Amino acid sequence: MTGAIGIEVGRDVSGQIAVGHHVIQVAGSYSTVTVVQSDQLPTPVPREDVTLLPRPALGLVGREDETADVVRMVDRGSPVQLHGAAGIGKSTLLRRVAHRMAEDGQRVVFLSATGRELGDVLQDIFEACYEAPGYRPGRAELRALMAGHELRLLLDDVGCPAAELDELLDAAPSATYLMTATERTLWGEGLARRLGGLGQADSVELLERTLARDLDTDELPAAKALWRLTEGAPLQLLAAAAVAYRSGGPLPRPAQVSELLPLVVERLSVRERAVRRILALAGDGGTGPGLLSVLLPQRTNGELDTARGLDDMRDVCDRLVAAGLAVETDHGYRWAPGVPRETGAGSEADVDELMTLCERLRHWAAAPERTPADLAAAAELVAGVVGAVSAAGHPAPGARLARAAAPGAALSLRMGAWGRILEQGGAAARKAGDRPLIAYFTHEDGIRRLVTGKRVAAAAALALAATLWHELGNQGGVHAAEHGTSLCQPGSLPTDVGPHGGGHTTGHGPASSSGQAQVHGHGPATTAKAAASKLGIGAKVVLGGGLAATVAGGTVLGLHSGGGDTVPVKVHVVTSALRVTMPGTPQAGCRQDASGTDCTTVVKTAKGRKGPVSVDPAGTLPVGTRILYWGCEEGPAASSCTITADKAKTVCVSTDSSEDASGRASCGSSNPSDAKPVTYPYMISMPSNWRVTVTGAAGKCFHDTFDAHATPDSSRSTACGPFRLAVGDSVRLTAVIDGPDPYKSLRFGQPEAYDTTPVWYGCDEGRRSATCTFTMTDKRITAFKTWQKSSDAQSGQHLPLSMCVTTAHDLEDASGTGVCEALTTDGN
């Protein structure tokens, strides 16, 4: 890269990385960020050998027909999704398909997406095809770089929703995708195949292979009964064989299937139980035998025995795999899907074991030889351990562990992995009351959100960080946070980059000659308010796939067509959150302006065509806002839309923004067959000494100023509601702390320099968040029903489905913070 500002990005992972057009200097105390022009970014170098194969699928029984079927589907060139229940064998089959394709001379890239954010998976795809140390391209740049890369892209366990799936498929437009998932999310032009269990003969062979012996004649009826009951699910069959193998007895009876896992766990050795605990804490990320041997060291004559410890860990993990409790991955092992995880600390001995594990993991993370890739791979384990020790009543060691791992995770360019460590570390620091660590985690999370395009949330986090740094007397931290907030404003990117980090746009603010955005001296509160204001986001309706064959003047894609070969597709967009441009012929009364869109257009398309209808924003939507569709194959209020133009169709589009309640009602009323949804209540509490005004629920709710000499408590806190939401519906809430200063008489004429940034509890974003989105989920409804059974309806208690808002100033609203913690403990 050129050196106009003297920055060399990440060649030796020395502390600098580039994410899109943002360059982050990762340092021990806090990170700083600047913006550079495109010609100052690294130039990715294509790899000569773009092949990344998984380990061979050893021990796979049967599945030859399924393998050939999946290969044929991929050869058609459309995206393919292999879906089925957890533990049914999708990952094993995918590995076999990868090697079969490679044997046929195809370029294959195999990657695991288990439990990972989409952005981290996209970075893996980029790094498989290019060498560019320290660089993570923006989405538009990634699409441009991947254009022309014809390869087979195999992704295991893709759990992203349908809306993100489109972004994934667009990232490498010339590649052919084969993905596995538990639930089907690929519709439209893609192909999907459900994977069932093994056949009877293959199930018997799997049992015999696991038992390392042939089944006796009198065992065959039990084996067939197990096959029928488990529907050939390999993991359940492995558990049955493990019970028999470890006990030395016959296969368990079908009536014992529900008890298989407890029986297997009961027979685990002490060493196996210790590994089980760690794998459970690591979640979907798993961990490798090398790290396991560090966390559970093996000793010979009182001395550490590294070689023996590594072999021991492999043996232990292989036994857990054979028992159906763990799954082998390309990077180690992870706990088997569908198997319950026990991660909490019960007895005092469990707590001691957990604390020892935390300390060993911290030393491992802080070791000089530790690489960013090591820390990204261990991010789930780090986050799991931090959360477990904090829940066990020891948040301070957990916060220190997260602090040791966070900088390296940032340098890995895996923003999702970095975010999980920051989230758990911040929660532990707040629980421990460690103000320097609270400031650090808040600041770093703001930087992460900024470079990933979440500007509003970034501005709020960095504004809060600036206040915390100021109270700690750290002026460097204050300046770094204030500079970060200045980059959260629209127009802060250089003139050669669009909102997603690529493509030329106009109208941006000036940049300095060094390529760094100009800083105009905005303070944290001012910048946060500017960033929180509604962005003027434009969007357009796109008809993809076969629907793109629109008809004008009787011509379909250059072919003359009679009117009988086309059908009308009516698209109605009603939203106050977006200005949407639409194809086709607008009907009378069409409104498309700065206040939103209320417009219906008609497009004719070839009859029988199938494809997606989507509203694609030109910028980043406000935090928590989703676009919703009615009249599609996915059902009402869906987050994606696929239609088949076999007859006249109507698609209605709105958002889940609180501003669009009438729009959603309008779209819903156009589908009279939709039953009126059941709604459930939620509350908003405001135990602050300041005046709080909340908008976004049903009108406004606020309370007046409290007495400055009084302590806010749950009995005196003002609460709004209850309001109601249906399952899957969301509301975005905005709080403003304003009104008279309750402490004015105590300031003796001193300037009012105290930050009153709202801080939310109990929202989707997590505890102590800068913004609040609340989605009604089945989990929350279960909590509400449990509360109904255990509480007196006339007791006046707050509902467990509640959000709470107070101020960021811990000294003046410390008790308000305590009330919010208490009110949102249950149900959220």
Average pLDDT, the chain: 77
The count of other CB atoms within 10 Å of the CB of residue 211 is 16
More confident residue, 202 or 490: 202
**Which of 660, 651, 569 is CA-nearest to residue 615?**
651
Three-state SS sequence of 447-489: HHHHHCCCHHHHHHHHHHHHHHHHHHCCHHHHHHHHHHHHCCC
The answer to whether the Cα torsion of 297, 299, 304, 305 is positive or negative is negative
3-state secondary structure of 228: helix
| Residue 396 confidence (pLDDT) above 90 | yes
Match 């109270």 to its residue by tokens.
Answer: 471
Which of 243-247, 618-622, 684-688, 811-815 has the least mean pLDDT? 811-815
Q: Are 166 and 189 in contact (CB under 8 A)?
A: no
More confident residue, 489 or 437: 437
Range among 271-280, 605-614, 679-688 rated most confident: 271-280
The count of other CB atoms within 10 Å of the CB of residue 473 is 8
What's the confidence (pLDDT) of residue 516? 32
More confident residue, 393 or 710: 393
| Residue 146 confidence (pLDDT) above 80 | yes
Element (H, E) at 574: strand 566-575
Cis peptide before 722 (omega within 30 of 0): yes
Q: Are 36 and 483 in contact (CB under 8 A)?
A: no
pLDDT band (50, 70, 90) for residue 821: confident
Query: What share of residues in the chain are helix, strand, coil (percent, to 5)?
Result: 40, 20, 40
pLDDT digits (tens, 9 = 90+) for 397-429: 999 999 999 999 999 999 999 999 999 999 999
The answer to whether the Cα torsion of 256, 258, 261, 263 is positive or negative is negative
More confident residue, 316 or 401: 401
* Report field, pTM of the whole predicted structure over 0.75: no
As a whole number of angstroms, the distance between CA 57 and CA 37 comes to 46
Which of 340-344, 611-615, 801-805 has the least mean pLDDT? 340-344
More confident residue, 130 or 558: 130
What's the confidence (pLDDT) of residue 501? 42
Supply the DSSP string of 692-723, one letter for each residue.
EEEESSSSEEEE-PPPTTS---TTT-EEEEEE
Which of 158-172, 239-253, 745-759 has the least mean pLDDT? 745-759
Q: What is the DSSP letter of 330?
A: T
Q: Provide long-range contacts, Cβ within 8 A and 24+ apart, for 581-588.
A: 581/538, 581/539, 581/540, 581/541, 582/540, 582/541, 583/541, 583/543, 583/550, 584/550
As a whole number of angstroms, the distance between CA 264 and CA 771 comes to 45
pLDDT band (50, 70, 90) for residue 820: confident
What's the confidence (pLDDT) of residue 356? 92
pLDDT band (50, 70, 90) for residue 828: very low
Whole-angstrom CA distances from 770 to 26, 445, 529, 764, 802 are 23, 11, 12, 11, 16
Q: What is the DSSP letter of 108?
A: E
Q: If you average pLDDT over residues 507-515, what whole number do you get?
A: 31
More confident residue, 675 or 372: 372
Tokens encoding 130:
């290019």
Supply the DSSP string of 246-257, one letter for each residue.
HHTS-PPPGGGG
Which of 147-156, 164-173, 669-678 has the least mean pLDDT? 669-678
More confident residue, 238 or 798: 238
Give 286's contacts (C-beta < 8 A, 6+ positions apart). Answer: 114, 279, 327, 329, 331, 332, 333, 334, 335, 380
Backbone angles phi, psi at 14, to 5 degrees: -90, 0
Q: If you average pLDDT over residues 595-602, what whole number do you get?
A: 84
Tokens encoding 480:
């770094």
Over the range 274-289, which residues count as b (16 or more CB within 10 Å of their CB) and which as e? bbbbbbbbbbbbbbbb
As a whole number of angstroms, the distance between CA 688 and CA 97 comes to 59
Nearest-5° Cα angle at 784, 780 to 786:
115
pLDDT band (50, 70, 90) for residue 729: confident
Give 277's contacts (C-beta < 8 A, 6+ positions apart). Answer: 342, 343, 353
Q: Are 667 and 598 in contact (CB under 8 A)?
A: no
What's the confidence (pLDDT) of residue 262? 65
| Residue 608 confidence (pLDDT) above 60 | yes
pLDDT digits (tens, 9 = 90+) for 687-718: 777 777 888 765 557 655 444 444 444 344 56
pLDDT digits (tens, 9 = 90+) for 529-563: 333 333 346 788 888 766 764 433 333 332 233 34
